[in-house]
Structure 1
Amino acid sequence: MNSSLSTIAKALGGEVSGNSVLCPGPRHSAEDRSLSVTPKADAPDGFLVHSFAGDDDIACKDYVRAKLGLNGTGSYNKGNGKDHANASKSKRSPAIVATYNYNDENGDLLFQVLRKEPKTFLQRQPDGKGGWVWSTKGVRQVPYRLPELLAAEHDTVIIVEGEKDADNVAKLGFTATTNAGGAGKWSPDLTPYFKGRDVFFIPDNDRPGEAHAQKVCAALTPVAKSVRIVRLSVKYKDVSDWISAGGTADELARLLNEAPPIAPDVSPEETSKAMPRFPLTAFGEIKWTTRGEYIVKDVLPLVGLVLIYGPPKCGKSFWAFDLAMHVARGVLVAQARDAGVDEVLASEITLKAVSFDRETLLEARHVLTRLGYAGVAEMLKRVARTAPRRITWHERMAAKAAGVRRAPCDNALTG
């Protein structure tokens, strides 16, 4: 194809843009500029095509060939006009998986946001002739779900990041909205719609989401009745993820009630820094109970709080870890039950016994048996099964000569 860009633009009803021509795609209105045509000498038929509207590449190429009067049907090789090196990788355009309408106060369509898979977004507006203009230039920006926002019986509204999130929150029974374009795309034209309202903003758990929250809240604080930032656990990427994991309307209502309002003279960023990421309960407000089920009788409850206290270096951490490991393995309860020893006493025996080697524990067992402490002796026998054996003098000397030191707690040899 030897035609100039201006000739191609005239034939396609488009305009020159850099080294390409932007023109209407197949079955689009004359004002549409969703199709890009780029002359390229080594491409099939001498040009490349790309549809910003997601139209089929082969159909676009056939359309261009017909407009330019080229011979053939344009589908002989099922190509799309892309480079030969990438021909084997050519695939049809991603499919549209969701369409979100932005309507005005009367419910009339202003523009649409289209979501494609893999995840990309496009925006378009009606051209008034049954077609589309693939741009929102000159269109009035309004909040998503504006008719629902205006028809709400209360002034409370939740702002989220994305139409999918807004729809999911609305399904829980809340008034929800967002702005087109996602994070960082808040328009000043949207701010007046929130005058006198109680606004709750739920950001995505990422840096763009946090920056977007600061921007939106800073814009709304001067006009809204109140503005709050509601933070979800960091294990959820957004509110839709939270809902999918089992989040309910009651739980969301609780989170809204717990969120502190942003003071008019305090920036959202300062309020954000003062907000804890996790709910905290004062020690004096903890409700204690003496009844309930125990994992370790009178020591470790099945549900509740355990406080371990004592002077520094007295073994609190070791005791806690040792107890947890025994419970996890089921050793402590099973051994105590088999030996007829109370679980608390069994815990103390285990704590002290781990400091000794196997031979010492077995010797102590024989002494305790003769003294009549059969249950405790049986416990020592069971603990001895997993205890390290005693290191002999000859082994110690050989280890020393080899540069191997003796571990301080377990009587084992380590390098």
Structure 2
Amino acid sequence: MIEQRRILATSIPGPASRAMQARKTAAVSAGVGTGLPVYVVEGAGGIVRDVDGNQLIDFGSGIAVTTVGNGNQRVIDAVTAQVNAFTHTCFMVTPYDSYVAVCEKLNALTPGDHEKRSALFNSGAEAVENAVKIARHVTGRPAVVAFDHGYHGRTNLTMGLTAKNMPYKHRFGPFAGELYRVPMAYPYRWPGGADRCAEEALRVITDQVHAQVGEENTAAVIIEPIQGEGGFIVPPEGFLPGLAEWCREHGILLIADEVQSGFCRTGDWFACDHEGVVPDLVTTAKGIAGGMPLAAVTGRADVMDAVHAGGLGGTYGGNPVACAAALASIESMEEDDLAGRAREIGEVLLDRLGRLAEKYDEVGDVRGRGAMIAMELVTDPETREPAAALTSAVNKGCHERGLITLTCGTYGNVFRFLPPLSISDELLHEGLDVLEEAFTAAVG
């Protein structure tokens, strides 16, 4: 295992990484961007090592993918054994046990004690596409309602559900039809103030759907219980249960997009668990399989079984290597109590970032749960104007100092902290020291 310490052997990126970036520029589409062009050769715990011998502290987990760490021994052993057995048959042709076992785990772990079924796919966007297909099929209704600041993927349908234009939607339209957007319950920026957000947001949303779409035309409402790319927006207490109840009253399916927030990331198995919200359908991916490509839709048995045979599937969906990785990842989450570890990490992040907020007015809001925490930067605490330039400068400073950080938010002014749950307290605190150093230098 890599020694768990930060090492700056060269400037970042170093000469070998810069040479590889030149190769990337010559060979890879310019549309595939790179936030931090250090080329990785090894990773484990809370550290990744690049081709120049630099060791960087990881506060990104490959965007919430390597939740159990990118060198988890259970995952390595499971993947190695499966590769030695066979790599693929296609579950729709000649099935295998591990696909069924993953579905059994998902049915047991996702919110609610009702009877469930699951289907496996390759990516979060593919899971969302299939959840919408299922909802439309079972309800016979066309409309799907999504939220401001939401992110659901890069396919045509999921781009239509996604709120942010650049870089996700710009000049890629026209998008799929019968997709409608409503305001998000965003406490920090709700016009009536955070205290009134839950009640007012639910009323605004339901009134808008009634007037502009019609409940009888609405197949599903899709929401990230904690929004990801949109800025780690945490809706106020009571909002999600209220939304779920309204959906039930009108026969509308509630789809919880837990692609980024699922699998212990928020301190529960799923973010919906925090308030006991039980969606009709749950989409998962990212943290499910320790870095292997896997996604799923899990939902009520009557809903999932309503689709005709052959209506769901795909050549690679539920690949046996990815399924082996998922079972090993879930075992690590259970045996190592990674939900509890996420809560511990969250306490550290909220404390340290809270102290940074007390020191600097530019830190407008600190929010999140577990190891899914955000810091929103503003130019003025009164006007709350987004400080995108400052965010970019701090991010650059973190990278130069050997800390992998990620930004997000509709306005480009939010830091999102997604450390692997395998990170040590020592690295977590050191990374936050680096963040503060970069922040202080950028503020001037």
- The TM-score, its normalising length taken from structure 2, stands at 0.20
The structure showing larger relative contact order (alpha-carbon pairs under 8 Å, at least 6 residues apart) is: 2
Q: Which of these two proteins has the greater Rg computed from alpha carbons? A: 1
- The TM-score, its normalising length taken from structure 1, stands at 0.21
